[in-house]
Amino acid sequence: AVPAPHAYNTFPLMGDPPSFFPQDYWLEANELGFLRNAFENTCAVQFHHRCLALTTLTAATALLAVHGRRRLPVESRRLLYCLCGVAWGQVGLGITTLLTYVPVHLGSAHQAGALTLMSVVLAAVYGVRVPARAATTARRAAAAAAGAAPKPSPAVV
């Protein structure tokens, strides 16, 4: 197990001297190799975790900003708000967990938050998806065929 949270317990800067991109990132690259360094170097693991968290938060917020005002079904709108709220909550919980030296209850809550975030992402992807191109083409073709069909003449009695 990599003791990443105990090594760099500051946010957003990490390392000594403090910087966004830590100096120790490539420290073990010669010994471990490039790929193993990404997964086994404590500094690299925590840096990747932070980047993933901030990227996820930015994507969820941007998704809500772009699609939140569009005409969407109520369920889809709720999923977008839920996604954004859970992402903000997860990042906040992660920062709190880090700054308090990872107490077990906060670490466990952060892991449960990850599961919640993944579940909401899957629900949002399913609920806010754009119809497939084939379905859109079929709908247009059906509408065109219905419009081009000859209209029945009135029955003569």
**How far is the C-alpha of 125 from the C-alpha of 72, rounded, in Å?**
14
**pLDDT confidence band for 146 (50 / 70 / 90):** confident
- d(CA 18, CA 50) in angstroms, rounded, equals 15
> Which tokens go with 133?
């191109």
Q: Comparing C-alpha atoms, which of 118, 120, 115 is closest to residue 80?
A: 120
**β-bridge partners, 19:** 14
Helix (H) or strand (E) holding 139: helix 133-148
SS3 69: coil
pLDDT in tens, 64-75: 999 888 888 889
**Averaged pLDDT, 32-36:** 87
Mean pLDDT value across residues 4-15: 82
pTM of the model: 0.76
CA dihedral 116, 121, 127, 129 (to 10 degrees): -170
